[in-house]
Structure 1
Amino acid sequence: MPDTTMEFAKYIVERLKQTGVKQIFGVPGDYNLEFLDYIENDSVLNWVGNANELNAAYAADGYARIKGGLAVLVTTFGVGELSALNGVAGSLSERLPVLHIVGAPSTRMQRSHALLHHTLNTPSSFTAFSDMSKQLSCSMALLNQVSPDTPNAFVDVFDETLRQCLTQCRPAYVELPMDAVRAIVSSRGLQVPLPEPHAAPSLDALRQLTPPGTPSPINRLYKEFGYFEPKPDVVTEHVVKLIAKLYENAKRPIVLVDACAARFGMGPIIRHLVEACGIRFFTTPMGKAILDEHHPLYGGCYAGRNSLAPVREEVEASDFVLYVGSLKSDFNSGSFSVHIDDAHAVKLHSYTTQVGYAQFPTTDIRHVLPQLVGALEAVKSARSPTVGESLEEKMKQGRVATLVDRPEGKDIVHKWLWPRVGSWFHDNDIIITETGTSSFGLLPVPLPSHATYSAQVLWGSIGWSVGATLGAALAAEEEEDKRRTILFVGDGSLQLTVQEIGTMVRRGLHPYLFVLNNDGYEIERQIHGRTAEYNNIQLYDHQLLLPFLAGKNPATPFESHVVRTQDELHRLLLDEKFNIPDRIRLIELVMPKGDAPETLIFQARLTAEANNGGH
């Protein structure tokens, strides 16, 4: 291609399209309006337009999860970007590539320290906000520090930040001054391919695959101590041999799948490995539904002490654990009660591999796992075949939840609810749960073979799920096979981000919104303050929400239901018309105050003990 020129904003738009992005989340503000013109005038990109910046960040998070790649968030300087930071922090915590583009005052105004609106009226007014984002970003493109006399430097700095965002699967930050928007730059950079988030990184990239603010283990090991740096393929080959040897000597091997396996697209490779080698596999709460939960080799969901007994016993009795993408947070590990001996554990991460007690910081899950398939398969012929189990057998053994007989009374209680809705799900549904009764309630329920499940288990920001549902539904719209998007959210969590339902209507989306009306913050009550006023909320009339948020001229049809008994819900879920996702639906489930899933009750007890110093 010839070396042509274009406006820098046009270059950014073309780069974003190369990543496969189609939806841009955010809120307009005067410092980003000119950039938004380029998005709105593009035939591929769609400006979503959110109710506020926090919701936009949540939506970008949900989009990245379902898309399996980049999401883009655009805010304005100061007031806009700060509103988004909680959502961006969640994407960092749970490893999602969200590019945060901030429209900023011109470089000339910043250099003159002009007292502009949205500034702090301090000497650091033009650096304070980017400093706040620094701890939440794997890379930063501070274009205000690039001389406008060398506009091609804009391209270099932007491209490097975009590459880091994709490679590390973490948020990155771009400050876009108004005078950089129309700067003329070379188009040559568009010919340089961008990395795929699921592709194995180079050694140079591995040097930077560490949490923001921490020194690279590669630099620390090889540069500070002057060691010779081996080629990454040599180290990977050595690691694969070590793992294969441990596997060969094991009598009860398992694979444990966690969150980062999904972030780096390892699901298909793991499935190939367990099927080729006949290895039993388990998931964590954050790894739920990465693999087929109806598969004969699936053993259940493991979260330390907060696991069903047969699941916990088998995992903790194993003598070889291939722990893929582990993220051992408190809610993901039963308050750190995972009992797996490091001596026979192999932990695959995006920047290092741990085999037993040894660390190999030049290796990456995307390098190691594909090579393991052949290495472990070569060992399997000497092993006894693993016996698979049907779903019915798993239910009998107590490895997964079963559809219980109707409990006494008519109330919709958690013990009955989650297996019932589990049987209602379709094969390829997208299921999103708020951190609370819904996320804990679905843990032992086997989801359909091709379902996608999302919950913000680690960051746990209340209200995340509503914005994430918007992003997930938009990502689903881009797929060839139509998929239903289903949300389960508590009445308390809903109040924080309810405005984004209006955006769903405006964008013509048709999710199912199940609102659990149990009169307040039930997860908090289970942890502490069972009768405390601070766990109460103002009760909404949920049946008025869709008519109110849809307005007088809704872009999509809608309907609301209030369900108070098991029979009412059972009949609704069987209704053929209800099962056609042709409109946005809000289903209010009236549930008893104080009722909770057993997994939440036990986790709340563990959390309360930890909060009290273990007493």
Structure 2
Amino acid sequence: MILHHTLGNGDFTVFHKMSESICQTTAFLNDISTACDEIDRCLKVAYTNQRPVYIAIPSNMVDMKVTSTRLEKPIDLSVVPNDEASQKEVIDRVLTMISKAKSPVILVDACASRHNCKDEVQQLVEITQFPVFVTPMGKGTIDEGGIGGEDITDPGIFTKLDTKLSSGSNVASRYGGVYIGSLSKPEVKNTVENADLVLSCGALLSDFNTGSFSYSLGTKNIVEFHSDHTKVRRAIYPGTKMKEAMQALNSKVSSVIRKNYTVQEVPKLKLANTPAPSGTPLTQIWFWTRVSSWFKESDVIITETGTAAHGILETRFPNNVVGISQILWGSIGFSVGAALGASMAAKEMSSNKRVILFVGDGSLQLTIQEISTMIKNKVNPYIFVLNNGGYTIEKLIHGIDAQYNNIQPWNHLQILPLFGATNYQAERITTVGETNELFDDPSFATNDKIRLIEVMFNPLDAPIALVKQAHFAAEVNKGK
């Protein structure tokens, strides 16, 4: 029997089989007596592993009746506890290393947030007062203590913030910036690579997340906490999962901090731009520093692969911000759908929770239709379209003048009305003055309508981290 939505060969399991390689688990529901168990199993695996699952439901199964009594009992979402002996050995070894450390650092990566360990990481920083750094995909996992929507027109705001961060004992006062191997700012690179102990939380050691594998840690005293194992120097402890292990560490670590441990200074981050005439054209380096001061606590900030993902590294988030990026797979266009999903979730949590999307003009052309769904569902994200006339990251890697790295220009200011929006704001900013006027407007800070802001840049203007990363990628592509 040949049906639509198939390959026409009578094999109805092909998509199920195709999904097996990219999912934690899959199920094909062809037996009503086990269907509910299989659904519950997949849901538990998805939740406890934080990875996708696939459930295939043949159309003839959809309307079959099952008992509703199982809905009265919640699915058991508990995880298998860590082996006590293994965890004790890990914690004892780590405590010994901490007791001897003079210049330790904490390095936080993507899997700490993906596997719900943000609280444990923050507590570790608070107790130890060790300098803490994030990777590109780890940004948003810990408090950074940015301005948080305060009055930027106050001439003393940056001095006050600098004093607060340098003298406090909270997590934000310990934040030192983003570590990307050799792409890091010199002061960040120096601090991390000269540490005598590195506590790594949720590492995701992919090429773009590590500055093309350019980590140069100067110590072998490295502890890696992962979602399914812990590594202490060269010893691997399978099943000693990050969340429980860090909770155990936090309960004991205060007793072993060196009596003579001196709290280390952290690199100072740039908080303000040098004043520029209002007619000055926008640049990447100026824009990202400026937008940093407009962010507010509890924002959800989503950055597209490419320019946005690298530009956001120049910002300092306020506390309690959720950062969403996707440097591992690097699928351009993902961020628009992600912003839709985040906006739906944020709307359920609080009507005041802002979702802010930064997406390139090229990436937007892949998934622009999701903006229509945003309007349909009456969510109000901020959509910043970074218009640099094509695929700048690809131009820098291979083909500055290549025609295939250019795109058909769109009239971005007509996108919202095209999709039927009635309560919206669409603006284009091209200069320092226009940008300041927009961000200084109190009404712009309130997410009471969907907004699309087109930000105009020179086609080859790019964040410095992207320029360096593109050079590395180009060399790799050449086989060097």
TM-score by length of 2: 0.91
Which structure 1 segments of 5+ residues have no match? 1-113, 204-230
Q: How does 1:57-72 map to 2 (within 5 A)?
A: none
Is 1:303 matched up with 2:303? Answer: no
Is 1:190 matched up with 2:108? Answer: no
Q: Determine the structure 2 residue equivalent to 1:428.
A: 298
Residue 277 of structure 2 contacts residue 433 of structure 2 at CA under 8 Å; is this kept in 1?
A: no
Matching residue within 301, 325, 331 for 1:461: 331
Q: Determine the structure 1 residue equivalent to 2:80.
A: 202
Q: How does 1:124-163 map to 2 (within 5 A)?
A: 125-144=11-30, 146=31, 151-163=32-44
Describe the SS at the equivalent of 2:379.
coil
Give 1:166's aligned amino acid. Answer: Y
Is 1:254 matched up with 2:135? Answer: no
Residue 105 of structure 2 contacts residue 132 of structure 2 at CA under 8 Å; is this kept in 1?
A: yes
Residue 378 (structure 1) shift = 1.4
Q: Determine the structure 2 residue equivalent to 1:86.
A: none
Is 1:569 matched up with 2:455? Answer: no
Q: Counterparts of 2:196 and 2:272 in 1: how far apart (Å)?
A: 29
Residue 192 (structure 1) shift = 4.5
Residue 272 of structure 1 contacts residue 373 of structure 1 at CA under 8 Å; is this kept in 2?
A: yes
Residue 404 of structure 1 contacts residue 415 of structure 1 at CA under 8 Å; is this kept in 2?
A: no
Pair 1:589–1:444, CA change in 2 (3 A): closer
1:64-90 Cα shifts (integer Å, max 9, x gaps)? xxxxxxxxxxxxxxxxxxxxxxxxxxx
Residue 387 (structure 1) shift = 4.8
Residue 577 (structure 1) shift = 2.1
Q: Determine the structure 2 residue equivalent to 1:330.
A: 207
Q: How does 1:570-609 map to 2 (within 5 A)?
A: 570-609=436-475
Describe the SS at the equivalent of 1:276.
helix
Is 1:120 matched up with 2:120? Answer: no
1:82-119 Cα shifts (integer Å, max 9, x gaps)? xxxxxxxxxxxxxxxxxxxxxxxxxxxxxxxx211122
Q: Determine the structure 1 residue equivalent to 2:83.
A: 232
Is 1:520 matched up with 2:371? Answer: no
Residue 428 of structure 1 contacts residue 449 of structure 1 at CA under 8 Å; is this kept in 2?
A: yes
Q: Determine the structure 1 residue equivalent to 2:418.
A: 548
Q: Determine the structure 2 residue equivalent to 1:225.
A: none
Pair 1:381–1:338, CA change in 2 (3 A): closer
Matching residue within 285, 296, 300 for 2:136: 285
Q: Determine the structure 2 residue equivalent to 1:473.
A: 343
Residue 279 (structure 1) shift = 1.4
Q: Counterparts of 1:475 and 1:142 in 2: how far apart (Å)?
A: 29
1:362-413 Cα shifts (integer Å, max 9, x gaps)? 2111221100102221102624241566xxx713xxxx56423328972111
1:122-174 Cα shifts (integer Å, max 9, x gaps)? 25x21211111111111111112x2xxxx331111111111111111100011
Pair 1:523–1:409, CA change in 2 (3 A): farther
Give 1:298's aligned amino acid. Answer: Y
Q: Counterparts of 1:583 and 1:518 in 2: how far apart (Å)?
A: 26
Q: Counterparts of 2:309 and 2:450 in 1: how far apart (Å)?
A: 22
Give 1:607's aligned amino acid. Answer: A
Residue 194 (structure 1) shift = 2.8
Q: Counterparts of 1:300 and 1:458 in 2: how far apart (Å)?
A: 20
Q: Counterparts of 2:69 and 2:90 in 1: how far apart (Å)?
A: 39
Give 1:288's aligned amino acid. Answer: K
Pair 1:154–1:235, CA change in 2 (3 A): same
Q: Counterparts of 1:586 and 1:187 in 2: how far apart (Å)?
A: 45
Pair 1:411–1:195, CA change in 2 (3 A): farther
Q: Counterparts of 1:541 and 1:473 in 2: how far apart (Å)?
A: 24
Matching residue within 195, 219, 222 for 1:318: 195
Pair 1:373–1:383, CA change in 2 (3 A): farther
Residue 483 (structure 1) shift = 1.1
1:500-543 Cα shifts (integer Å, max 9, x gaps)? 11111111111111111111111111111011101000000112
Residue 452 (structure 1) shift = 1.5
TM-score by length of 1: 0.71
Describe the SS at the equivalent of 1:431.
strand
> Which stretch of the first structure deviates more once superposed, 444-453 or 303-312?
444-453
Describe the SS at the equivalent of 2:204.
coil
Q: How does 1:286-435 map to 2 (within 5 A)?
A: 286-294=137-145, 295-340=172-217, 343-380=220-257, 382-387=259-264, 394-395=268-269, 400=270, 402-406=272-276, 410-435=280-305
Residue 243 (structure 1) shift = 1.0
Q: How does 1:80-99 map to 2 (within 5 A)?
A: none
Give 2:19's aligned amino acid. Answer: S
Residue 279 of structure 1 contacts residue 386 of structure 1 at CA under 8 Å; is this kept in 2?
A: yes
Q: Determine the structure 2 residue equivalent to 1:557.
A: 423
Q: Counterparts of 1:409 and 1:563 in 2: how far apart (Å)?
A: 11
Aligned residues: 454
Give 1:163's aligned amino acid. Answer: K
User: Quick one: percent identity of the two aligned structures?
Assistant: 40
Q: Determine the structure 2 residue equivalent to 1:172.
A: 53
Matching residue within 375, 384, 394 for 1:505: 375
Give 2:4's aligned amino acid. Answer: H
Residue 107 of structure 2 contacts residue 134 of structure 2 at CA under 8 Å; is this kept in 1?
A: yes
Q: Counterparts of 2:229 and 2:264 in 1: how far apart (Å)?
A: 33
Q: Determine the structure 1 residue equivalent to 2:404.
A: 534
Pair 1:582–1:481, CA change in 2 (3 A): closer
Q: Determine the structure 2 residue equivalent to 1:487.
A: 357
Q: Counterparts of 1:352 and 1:182 in 2: how far apart (Å)?
A: 42
Q: Counterparts of 1:406 and 1:612 in 2: how far apart (Å)?
A: 40
Give 1:380's aligned amino acid. Answer: I
Pair 1:192–1:360, CA change in 2 (3 A): farther
Q: Counterparts of 2:443 and 2:174 in 1: how far apart (Å)?
A: 36
Residue 484 (structure 1) shift = 1.0
Residue 101 of structure 2 contacts residue 258 of structure 2 at CA under 8 Å; is this kept in 1?
A: no
Residue 586 (structure 1) shift = 0.9
